[in-house]
């Protein structure tokens, strides 16, 4: 009896040991998506970005390193303190090893700083594009995937100038974001043989752009450049259409425009607008097939941010598999080594300063007559290769870049 009891105890202890070991072996690889789920940036990212991240995990097979992939999604409400707090909680207490999407520049900077301090997670930014993320506030665990203010300025200028836009007039929102766009774009206009014939500044949340648009019309500019965003951009485009700018000889260009902005405006108002984007759902058979799947989930076509989330999460998982680890620094090194090839881009490369190099598309919004179906909004004018869109590393202010 004693022998049986002893064996039973040993067996019980062995089973308990297995129970203690098994959950650790099956711990999921957790990716946390922090976005604006109900505010200003919710349409371009939000729940659609969450869906895109889950699609990336499913397309990878649902597992990496024989561990299940888990996608966590949360609303940071565009508040820096909530964004930083959630990021730290996920990294320190829930084992999250990657943070994705991250709308709002202030939130993105706070989250990247938290990840830099902990080095427990990589940061895959798609919805924010402040240049500081890849320059003065660059992190060894940070990557900016879809766009940034400097590359948007450069690609928009080059795209419009290829279409004959030599003389430029800027309507700029009067704070740091607008000033940076105007400064960089003006520099590229002059460097490419163009001239800036005028500029005006408007306050944030302007409701009447009439005086600015009249000055632009009278300037003789080929291009009226809207260095603004959000609700101000929508208002400016609506009123530009009312003044006839989008249908005349002058080209109206926007530096930061998303597919959902055009959807909200409607083609009648947005027609003729020239913009640059890193993704368009109707570009080729591959993008159309993926977008059709996305539409089945979200009942909307994907923005460049949502396609970028799919790409960045998928590339992260490839790097984890190749590295055999979720250690942030190890995975980031592997992410830089592996080229980015997916529905978002081909032959993309994550550079040392955290910029993901990829081509950009110059597009013009179709007229209602040109559009053949819902979400058929863009005609692609040209493709700008990555080496024409991004600045050389020698121009970087990033402290981690070896000069």
From CA 331, how far away is CA 67, in angstroms rounded?
Answer: 16
Predicted local distance difference test score (pLDDT) of residue 400:
67
Q: What is the pLDDT of residues 274-286, one digit of tens each?
A: 899 999 999 999 9
Q: Using 50, 70 and 90 to split pLDDT, how confident is the model at 11?
A: very low
Predicted local distance difference test score (pLDDT) of residue 98:
98
CA 202 to chain centroid, in Å, comes to 26
From CA 273, how far away is CA 163, in angstroms rounded?
Answer: 13
**27 has a pLDDT exceeding 90:** yes
What's the N-to-C CA distance of the chain in angstroms? 77
Q: Using 50, 70 and 90 to split pLDDT, how confident is the model at 253?
A: very high
Predicted local distance difference test score (pLDDT) of residue 398:
66
Q: What is the pLDDT of residues 79-94, one digit of tens each?
A: 899 999 999 999 999 9
384 sits in which H/E element: strand 378-384
Q: Which CATH superfamily is domain 150-277+361-387 in?
A: Response regulator (3.40.50.2300)
Q: What is the pLDDT of residues 160-196, one digit of tens each?
A: 898 889 999 999 998 877 888 899 899 999 999 999 9
Predicted local distance difference test score (pLDDT) of residue 402:
62
CB 185 within 8 A of CB 223: no
Predicted local distance difference test score (pLDDT) of residue 284:
97
CB 151 within 8 A of CB 172: no
**5 has a pLDDT exceeding 80:** no
The three-class DSSP label of residue 244 is: coil
Q: Report which of residues 302 and 244 the model is more confident about.
A: 302
**9 has a pLDDT exceeding 70:** no
Over residues 47-59, the mean pLDDT reads 98
Q: Which of 56, 139, 144 is nearest to 356 (CA)?
A: 144
- DSSP 8-class letter at 39: S
From CA 169, how far away is CA 339, in angstroms rounded?
Answer: 39
Q: Using 50, 70 and 90 to split pLDDT, how confident is the model at 13?
A: very low
Q: What is the pLDDT of residues 347-395, one digit of tens each?
A: 999 999 999 999 999 999 999 999 999 999 999 999 999 998 888 887 7
Predicted local distance difference test score (pLDDT) of residue 229:
81
**CATH fold group of domain 29-147+284-358:** Rossmann fold (3.40.50)
Q: Report which of residues 10 and 57 the model is more confident about.
A: 57
From CA 52, how far away is CA 60, in angstroms rounded?
Answer: 12
Range list for CATH 3.40.50.2300 in the chain: 29-147+284-358, 150-277+361-387
Model pTM score = 0.87
């Amino acid at each position: 009896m004693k022998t049986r009891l002893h064996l039973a105890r040993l067996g019980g202890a062995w089973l308990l040991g297995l129970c203690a070991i098994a959950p650790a072996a099956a711990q999921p690889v957790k990716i946390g998506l922090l976005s604006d789920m109900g505010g200003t940036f919710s349409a371009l990212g939000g729940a659609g970005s969450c869906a895109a991240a889950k699609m990336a995990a499913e397309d990878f097979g649902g597992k990496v390193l024989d561990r299940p992939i888990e996608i966590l999604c949360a609303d940071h409400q565009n508040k820096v303190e909530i964004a930083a707090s959630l990021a730290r909680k996920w990294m320190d207490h829930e084992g999250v090893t990657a943070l994705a999407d991250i709308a709002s520049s202030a939130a993105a900077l706070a989250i990247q700083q938290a990840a830099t301090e902990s080095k427990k997670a990589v940061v895959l930014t798609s919805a924010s594009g402040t240049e500081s993320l890849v320059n003065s506030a660059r992190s060894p665990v940070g990557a900016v995937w879809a766009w940034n203010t400097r590359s948007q300025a450069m690609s928009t200028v080059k795209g419009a100038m290829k279409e004959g836009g030599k003389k430029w007039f800027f309507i700029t929102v009067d704070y740091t974001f607008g000033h940076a766009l105007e400064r960089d774009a003006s520099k590229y206009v002059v460097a490419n043989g163009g001239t800036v014939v005028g500029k005006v500044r408007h306050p944030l949340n302007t409701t009447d752009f009439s005086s600015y648009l009249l000055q632009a019309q009278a300037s003789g500019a080929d291009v009226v450049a809207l260095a603004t965003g959000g609700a101000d951009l929508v208002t400016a485009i609506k009123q530009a259409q009312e003044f006839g700018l989008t249908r005349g000889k002058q080209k109206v260009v926007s530096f930061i425009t998303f597919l959902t902005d055009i959807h909200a405006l409607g083609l009648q108002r947005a027609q003729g607008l020239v913009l640059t984007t890193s993704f368009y759902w109707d570009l080729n058979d591959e993008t159309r097939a993926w977008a059709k799947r996305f539409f089945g989930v979200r009942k909307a076509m994907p923005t460049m941010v949502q396609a970028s989330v799919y790409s960045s999460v998928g590339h992260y998982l490839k790097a984890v598999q190749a590295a055999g680890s979720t250690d942030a620094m190890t995975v980031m090194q592997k992410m830089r080594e592996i080229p980015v090839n997916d529905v978002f881009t081909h032959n993309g490369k994550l550079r040392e300063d955290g910029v993901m190099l990829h081509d950009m598309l110059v597009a013009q919004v179709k007229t209602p007559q040109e559009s053949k179906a819902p979400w058929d909004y863009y005609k692609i004018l040209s493709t700008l290769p990555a080496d024409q869109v991004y600045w050389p590393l020698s121009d970087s202010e990033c402290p981690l870049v070896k000069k």
